[in-house]
A and B are shown apart, each in its own frame.
Chain A
């Protein structure tokens, strides 16, 4: 894993920099996977101090946005987790990779407001599930249930997380407006790829504020700036609380409730 990431990322022309929430939210070049891999490579070769590599690795929030965009599907977050001493935060390792790009392509495809589309409200996917889309999408029993429930129907949702699960189950998805009229902020696990101007992480991801408080606060500030004072809904209590603490008008569960 280490060698392939070092080769692919350290020499990559930063092709994922626009989806990396830390690189975008902080405007730092050092947070890109290219920069992180470059520092680790030089540290492994004895050119730089190992402590610099540790600092570089702490700049990754582990959201996986880069992997979803990368043409080579390099799992940067997993590599970062392996490299950290002690091992740190990364996406759930036991889950298979999810083709979130597929979800996004479908989400931006018309028809919007198709009258044949049905709502997911009241169906098998509850709001509690939104923060755990990755787990749901990797759970064959859940997928079988979702596929049975929505068989032959087109489903409208504004949630990338719900769409991710539905698509994994083979259900056709179209996009709809947020049900309560509020703009929607997506959580890390929903894997937004920036098509609606959102970052893929607000900085609240478990362990990141402790590892890198400056970058975490900067990310939150950037997300709040992009909210532009408008109320937003957020399904993940952890993110909702973090954003409220940074002055955002966020509807959703209380802080420290996972969703």
Chain B
């Protein structure tokens, strides 16, 4: 390996300190091993390209020397995707950190992949804008990492996941450089690049959608008698087109431990209180007790189940004050009508002020010999209870488990399990193996926003079974010698060809699985007879829906069945996922057999309003297109019409 040749053009370091610092990302399994004084594999060299030319030079060097390449943003990934490899070149992209001026006309900004998230929001804030992408890792993650792993932030219900915010990218791959999205020339590879975790190329620049800094924010807490009632309230709220920025439900255990409901904490079992206090304080001497308790996870979970099922939901709206007033008014009424008790502003404001603090709380657990991890799965509303039960049961055999539900969509929701276990690798691996299988068995995605890495690559490959050959063909084209993160997405898996998805309407999730090639008139008539129409109408075959215009935060395709080279590929119906790239809209129209698409209820009258082209704030706070539905539609229409008359 001729490092001198690389160092002639790019800043590099082969010292032990820097290689050690790039040896592991934040995969808890690696942290557990670190706690046990086990060293992770370090890369052979770390390089910091400053621009695209240096990035190209480094990749060329890697190809010539046949050195595996691991792209690195800030190493906040929790699945090991950025972990070091023996003999590898780790490309640390943080010096490619330029943030351009916001293009007000298009509400976009050009950014380098190495910008730290908080620095991006700081700079945009100075210009009066924001992405509002706010992952809990915002202080220690980069924009390139967000794109490569399809990250989600705390306000995803309003603004979407990060892949929804990426308008275009520039990518440097070993065989060529190319552009995606709005910048694409020729085939648009953006659906494949986002979520590819560095396996197809390295993102060298992004064009990102931004929004004006919110004028105001409205947050409130609600207590529900049980989780099922709260899920129903969330579902109704999301399907009522009320566009909350936050909808965050804590299960009964999390509610009780966190003391989120007034008076709830006092009802909690003593064991839990003691455990929590041990974990929170990080006080010495608690490790023995903690590990003793964690050795009996079923007992601990059973105790946690005592004391009732009350759970707390945080709901919030932000943006322009007039619009927030309307949406929060109707949202508040809906939640009260759905059996929510109003807990006032405090729970929401407290969450907002402390929304990143939880990341500090895992450290004492590892230091005491335990482990803490999180698992983010997602499913349509109709599958959510089964997903919750299956994964909870699987994790509960090995760990103490609680969950919250914080990324809600019209069609479904994510479940974010937090689990704590006694610190041994076998237990950790067993818990994950069982939980991933459980999620897949009930139609949930194995990754909503943490990505894949070596941690979930086999489970992701099963979820996207059939995609492998297409992905490999792309990889061979872009990286013929296979230096980019070799052996990661997607390992070969032996999965029989699945049957075609059953056609029909999922009323809870407000989606329909339809023949993608059926004539429009037949399809629309069938839907109308059952009281529905397409959320994104298309005059031709449904296969055109893959290219339908849609708001940035909504997905026009939830699932699909396609034929590629004579083989059927069924792409899971799920609101959002980060199990690798999202190929649901990446095939030619004729390849689709079925499509699962969002619906609207014909019983909800649509209000036609004027677009407010001159008022970017209003335009961005309302659904794109001329129609509004739901309880707030009349008030919003009146607001729009009133303002449209202004000079």
Docked-complex contact A17 and B37, CB < 8 angstroms: no
Docked-complex contact A29 and B359, CB < 8 angstroms: no
Chain B interface: which of A34-42, A82-90, A92-100, A156-164?
Answer: A34-42
Cβ 8 A contact of A195, one of B39, B122, B367: B122
Cβ 8 A contact of B17, one of A10, A27, A56: A56
A1 contacts chain B at the CB level, 8 A cutoff: no
A7 contacts chain B at the CB level, 8 A cutoff: yes
Given that A7-B282, A17-B74, A17-B139 are known contacts, is A71 also in contact with B357, CB under 8 Å in the complex? Answer: yes
> Would you give the 0/1 interface string for A1-24, flagging 1 where the beta carbon is closer than 8 Å to chain B?
001101111111111111100001
* Interface of A, helix, strand, loop or mixed by DSSP: loop
A45 contacts chain B at the CB level, 8 A cutoff: yes
Docked-complex contact B126 and A197, CB < 8 angstroms: yes
B75 contacts chain A at the CB level, 8 A cutoff: yes
- Alpha-carbon distance between A192 and B26 when the two chains are bound, in angstroms: 28
Docked-complex contact B363 and A7, CB < 8 angstroms: yes
CB-nearest residue of chain A relative to B356? A15
Docked-complex contact A27 and B362, CB < 8 angstroms: no
- Alpha-carbon distance between A4 and B357 when the two chains are bound, in angstroms: 18
CB contacts (< 8 Å) of B357 on chain A: these are 71
A40–chain B nearest beta-carbon distance, Å: 11
> Would you give the 0/1 interface string for B75-107, flagging 1 where the beta carbon is closer than 8 Å to chain A?
110000000000000001011010000000000
Docked-complex contact B16 and A45, CB < 8 angstroms: no
A176 contacts chain B at the CB level, 8 A cutoff: no
Residues 359-373 of B at the A interface (beta carbon under 8 Å): 359-360, 362-364, 366-367
CB contacts (< 8 Å) of B126 on chain A: these are 196-197
B387–chain A nearest beta-carbon distance, Å: 27
B581 contacts chain A at the CB level, 8 A cutoff: no
Q: How large is the interface on B (under 10, 10 to 19, 20 to 34, 35 or more residues)?
A: 35 or more
Docked-complex contact A13 and B359, CB < 8 angstroms: yes
B137 contacts chain A at the CB level, 8 A cutoff: yes
Docked-complex contact B116 and A11, CB < 8 angstroms: no
CB contacts (< 8 Å) of B17 on chain A: these are 30, 35, 39, 52, 55-56, 59
- Alpha-carbon distance between A42 and B74 when the two chains are bound, in angstroms: 21
B555 contacts chain A at the CB level, 8 A cutoff: no
Cβ 8 A contact of B363, one of A3, A11, A196: A11
Docked-complex contact B92 and A29, CB < 8 angstroms: yes
A234–chain B nearest beta-carbon distance, Å: 21
A66–chain B nearest beta-carbon distance, Å: 11
Residues 42-59 of A at the B interface (beta carbon under 8 Å): 42, 45, 47-48, 52, 55-56, 59
CB-nearest residue of chain B relative to A16? B139
- Alpha-carbon distance between A29 and B70 when the two chains are bound, in angstroms: 15
Docked-complex contact A14 and B140, CB < 8 angstroms: yes
How many of chain A's residues have a CB under 8 angstroms from any CB in B? 40
- Alpha-carbon distance between A24 and B74 when the two chains are bound, in angstroms: 11
Docked-complex contact A42 and B356, CB < 8 angstroms: no
- Alpha-carbon distance between A17 and B114 when the two chains are bound, in angstroms: 13
Cβ 8 A contact of A18, one of B119, B282, B284, B360: B119
Interface hub of A6, A12, A27, A196 (most chain B Cβ within 10 A): A27
- Alpha-carbon distance between A194 and B419 when the two chains are bound, in angstroms: 34
B570–chain A nearest beta-carbon distance, Å: 36
Docked-complex contact B359 and A15, CB < 8 angstroms: yes
- Alpha-carbon distance between A251 and B117 when the two chains are bound, in angstroms: 32
> Would you give the 0/1 interface string for A210-238, flagging 1 where the beta carbon is closer than 8 Å to chain B?
00000000000000000000000000000
Cβ 8 A contact of A42, one of B37, B72, B94: B37
Given that A7-B282, A12-B360, A14-B76 are known contacts, is A38 also in contact with B34, CB under 8 Å in the complex? Answer: yes
Docked-complex contact B360 and A72, CB < 8 angstroms: yes
Cβ 8 A contact of B22, one of A29, A38, A71: A29
Docked-complex contact A45 and B37, CB < 8 angstroms: yes
B21 contacts chain A at the CB level, 8 A cutoff: yes
Docked-complex contact B37 and A47, CB < 8 angstroms: yes
CB contacts (< 8 Å) of B35 on chain A: these are 11
> Would you give the 0/1 interface string for B37-61, flagging 1 where the beta carbon is closer than 8 Å to chain A?
1010000000010000000000000
Docked-complex contact A11 and B31, CB < 8 angstroms: yes
Docked-complex contact A30 and B37, CB < 8 angstroms: no
Residues 141-195 of A at the B interface (beta carbon under 8 Å): 194-195
Given that A42-B37, A47-B39 are known contacts, is A28 also in contact with B367, CB under 8 Å in the complex? Answer: no
Given that A11-B31, A71-B360, A194-B122 are known contacts, is A29 also in contact with B21, CB under 8 Å in the complex? Answer: yes
B118 contacts chain A at the CB level, 8 A cutoff: yes
Cβ 8 A contact of B116, one of A10, A18, A39: A18
Docked-complex contact B37 and A18, CB < 8 angstroms: no
Docked-complex contact B360 and A17, CB < 8 angstroms: no
Cβ 8 A contact of B140, one of A8, A10, A13, A38: A13
CB-nearest residue of chain A relative to B13? A28
B18 contacts chain A at the CB level, 8 A cutoff: yes
B20 contacts chain A at the CB level, 8 A cutoff: yes
A46–chain B nearest beta-carbon distance, Å: 8
Interface hub of A3, A12, A14, A195 (most chain B Cβ within 10 A): A14
CB contacts (< 8 Å) of A48 on chain B: these are 16, 20
Docked-complex contact B21 and A15, CB < 8 angstroms: no
CB contacts (< 8 Å) of A30 on chain B: these are 17-18, 20-21
CB-nearest residue of chain B relative to A56? B17
CB contacts (< 8 Å) of A70 on chain B: these are 360
Docked-complex contact A28 and B21, CB < 8 angstroms: yes
B506 contacts chain A at the CB level, 8 A cutoff: no
CB contacts (< 8 Å) of A56 on chain B: these are 17
- Alpha-carbon distance between A47 and B600 when the two chains are bound, in angstroms: 61
- Alpha-carbon distance between A172 and B625 when the two chains are bound, in angstroms: 47
- Alpha-carbon distance between A17 and B356 when the two chains are bound, in angstroms: 14
Residues 304-363 of B at the A interface (beta carbon under 8 Å): 356-357, 359-360, 362-363
Q: List 18 A-B contacts (CB under 8 A).
A: A7-B367, A8-B282, A13-B359, A14-B26, A15-B356, A16-B139, A17-B140, A18-B117, A27-B48, A30-B18, A32-B21, A35-B17, A35-B20, A38-B21, A47-B37, A48-B20, A52-B20, A197-B122
Q: Which residues of B contact A (CB under 8 A)?
A: 13, 16-18, 20-22, 26, 31, 34-35, 37, 39, 48, 72, 74-76, 92, 94-95, 97, 114, 116-119, 122-123, 126, 137, 139-140, 282, 284, 356-357, 359-360, 362-364, 366-367
